[in-house]
Amino acid sequence: MHDMHRSGNGAKFFYPQSNWLKDTLREPFRLVEPSDVAYREACARFEFLASLIAMDTDNDFLSYPWAGEFFIDSTWGYDNNGLAAVIEAKLTDTWPLLRAGAFGGELLRAQKALTALTEWRGKHDRTW
């Protein structure tokens, strides 16, 4: 992946697949979301939510999140700020993803998945 997708200055990305996917899909999604900032934020939310769903398992071997740029401190956040705090605040019985059937419609499973994702990040953290 590093050989296929390098940064503008030739350096390697921490999460090349994340950056490549975001760059590759930017133009096709421009009509849906013209704002580059909103598009980047939507990509981070997608990666976070996909990872949250991936962590919804009782088998530790299978619980492996998407290694994406949402893990970077500036996006994930700290001190109850950032994307992780935003998602955590949305975890209620009325959360649309939960009502649509994710996590079996069970709030406790969603909260458990968030805890597992947070712990995974703590063990495998990379920062810029």
Looking at residue 124, the DSSP 8-state letter turns out to be S
Domain count, the chain: 1
Does residue 6 sit within a domain?
no
Query: What pLDDT is attached to residue 57?
Result: 87
Does residue 70 sit within a domain?
yes
Does residue 33 sit within a domain?
yes
Does residue 63 sit within a domain?
yes
pTM: 0.85
pLDDT > 70: what percent of the chain? 86
List the domain range (segments joined by +) for residue 42.
16-123
77-99 burial by CB neighbour count: b if 16+ within 10 A, else e?
beeeebbbeebeeebeeebebbe
The 10s digit of each residue's pLDDT in 40-70 is 999 999 999 999 999 998 777 777 898 888 8
CB 86 within 8 A of CB 30: no
The 10s digit of each residue's pLDDT in 8-43 is 676 666 677 888 899 999 999 999 999 999 999 999
Does residue 11 sit within a domain?
no
Looking at residue 49, the DSSP 8-state letter turns out to be H
Does residue 1 sit within a domain?
no
Does residue 7 sit within a domain?
no
Does residue 3 sit within a domain?
no
pLDDT tier for residue 128 given thresholds of 50, 70 and 90: very low
